[in-house]
């Protein structure tokens, strides 16, 4: 069995003015074939897990380039096309293969491409033909477009946010791929569009319970191979942004579609209850002043603590912006 794997990933904040070029990918992760380190990064676990599977099964794993840029603004067109074409050329050279297992993020946007992953996957489909397995791991903060769904056999996304389970879900991705390639299952994917935008931390209720319930369904129902919640990435201004449910079943399309709808409607019914309580700017400043012992006597209480940082949620470089600005500290 010969499988091709590669990684092409970043998370694009289309409101950020910081352009992503090839140097940004090289500064974060740019590993040529067989040069990826043993430790996976967020989106490259399909490659490192794939090495373990290939070794255990004595399969041939052909590695393509694995690359990731830290989140910022649009990828410039030349960079996206160059990285895409580099990996496509590696795949063409590896043909024929029985499967393609990818590490994607799913929220990439490039100049001239609202849906780079859809473009990438459909070109891969054109190369391998209709019968070869194509699957990918996704970050839930991604855009699940029709083009991607048409091109790939199935997707598995991280369940936890913060993303503590990217290796576990890469293992699930490979488990489903292995069973398919061994002729034991026929994974089919159904999707329900919740037509909503929200933020879903899984460290607190109600999302904790929701994820625990979908994990229990995966464990207890042999027809259900995988359930993913695509949260959506609201800093990506693209037409198909939003929350969607993926159910991958073993050849049970109707059951998968029914379950995806049921779970999606359950999520929709809880809309607006997922985020942690928010602090208003006035409350945040009052709280900060009460904690700071500044030389200019901003704080009459004289309490010492620091540094104190006031940040808007979208001041987070992990979401593609430039970073946070320290507000005031007796240490600075």
Greatest pairwise CA separation for the chain in angstroms: 73
Of all helices (H) and strands (E), which one includes residue 120? helix 116-128
- For CA atoms 206, 249, 6, 151, the dihedral sign is negative
Name, in order, each residue with C-beta under 8 angstroms of 150's C-beta and a sequence gap of 6 or more: 122
Whose CB is nearest to Zn ion? 141
- Measured from the CB atom, is 141 or 180 closer to Zn ion? 141
Instruction: Supply the minimum distance, in Å, between the C-beta of residue 163 and Zn ion.
Output: 6
- Measured from the CB atom, is 132 or 138 closer to Zn ion? 138
Instruction: Supply the minimum distance, in Å, between the C-beta of residue 13 and Zn ion.
Output: 12
Q: How many CB atoms lie within 10 A of CB 90?
A: 17
- Measured from the CB atom, is 84 or 141 closer to Zn ion? 141
Span near Zn ion by CB under 5 A; candidates 108-116, 132-140, 187-195, 198-206: 132-140
Instruction: Supply the minimum distance, in Å, between the C-beta of residue 23 and Zn ion.
Output: 23
Q: Which residues pair with 187 in a beta bridge?
A: 250
- Measured from the CB atom, is 119 or 139 closer to Zn ion? 139
Span near Zn ion by CB under 5 A; candidates 70-78, 131-139, 186-194, 260-268: 131-139
Span near Zn ion by CB under 5 A; candidates 128-136, 138-146, 212-220, 241-249: 138-146
Name, in order, each residue with C-beta under 8 angstroms of 155's C-beta and a sequence gap of 6 or more: 135, 136, 137, 138, 144, 148, 189, 228, 246, 248
Span near Zn ion by CB under 5 A; candidates 19-27, 133-141, 171-179, 271-279: 133-141
Instruction: Supply the minimum distance, in Å, between the C-beta of residue 182 and Zn ion.
Output: 31
Q: Cβ distance 277 to 298 under 8 Å? A: no
Q: Could you say which of 139, 165, 190, 250 contacts Zn ion (CB under 5 A)?
A: 139
- Measured from the CB atom, is 54 or 194 closer to Zn ion? 194
Residue 233: which of 106, 48, 52 has the closest Cα? Answer: 106
Read off the DSSP letter of residue 39: S
Instruction: Supply the minimum distance, in Å, between the C-beta of residue 140 and Zn ion.
Output: 6
Instruction: Supply the minimum distance, in Å, between the C-beta of residue 82 and Zn ion.
Output: 25
Cα–Cα distance for residue pair 231/197, rounded to 1 Å:
8
Q: Count interface residues toward Zn ion (CB under 5 A).
A: 2
Instruction: Supply the minimum distance, in Å, between the C-beta of residue 28 and Zn ion.
Output: 15
- For CA atoms 72, 75, 76, 82, the dihedral sign is positive
Q: Could you say which of 36, 84, 141, 159 contacts Zn ion (CB under 5 A)?
A: 141
For the chain, how are helix, strand and coil distributed in percent, rounded to 5? 35, 20, 45
Please report whether residue 105 would count as binding Zn ion according to CB under 5 A: no
| Contacts to Zn ion by CB under 5 A | 139, 141
């Amino acid at each position: 069995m010969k499988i091709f794997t590669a990684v092409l990933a970043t998370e694009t904040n289309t409101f950020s003015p910081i352009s992503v070029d090839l140097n940004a990918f090289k500064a974060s992760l740019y590993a040529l074939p067989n040069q990826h380190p043993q430790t996976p990064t967020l989106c490259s676990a399909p490659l490192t897990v794939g090495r373990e599977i290939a070794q255990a099964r004595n399969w041939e794993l052909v590695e393509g380039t694995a690359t990731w840029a830290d989140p910022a603004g649009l990828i410039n067109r030349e960079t996206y096309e160059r990285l895409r074409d580099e990996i496509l050329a590696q795949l063409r050279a590896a043909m024929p293969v029985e499967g393609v297992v990818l590490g994607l993020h799913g929220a990439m946007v490039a100049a001239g491409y609202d849906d780079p992953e859809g473009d990438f996957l459909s070109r891969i489909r054109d190369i391998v033909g209709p019968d070869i397995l194509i699957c990918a791991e996704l970050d839930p903060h991604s855009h699940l477009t029709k083009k991607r769904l048409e091109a790939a056999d199935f997707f598995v996304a991280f369940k936890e946010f913060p993303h503590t389970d990217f290796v576990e879900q890469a293992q699930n991705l490979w488990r489903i791929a292995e069973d398919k390639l061994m002729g034991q299952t026929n994974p089919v994917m159904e999707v329900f569009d919740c037509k909503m935008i929200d933020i879903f931390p899984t460290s607190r209720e109600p999302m904790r319970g929701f994820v625990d319930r979908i994990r229990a369904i995966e464990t207890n129902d042999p027809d259900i191979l995988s359930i993913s919640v695509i949260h959506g990435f609201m800093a990506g201004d693209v037409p198909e942004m939003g929350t969607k449910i993926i159910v991958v079943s073993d050849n049970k399309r109707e059951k998968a579609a029914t379950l995806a709808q049921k779970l999606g409607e359950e999520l929709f019914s809880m809309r607006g209850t997922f985020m942690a309580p928010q602090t208003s700017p006035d409350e945040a400043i009052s709280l900060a002043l009460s904690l700071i012992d500044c030389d200019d006597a901003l704080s009459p209480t004289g309490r010492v603590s620091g540094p104190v940082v006031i940040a808007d949620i979208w001041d987070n470089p992990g979401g593609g912006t430039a970073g946070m600005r320290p507000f005031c500290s007796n240490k600075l």
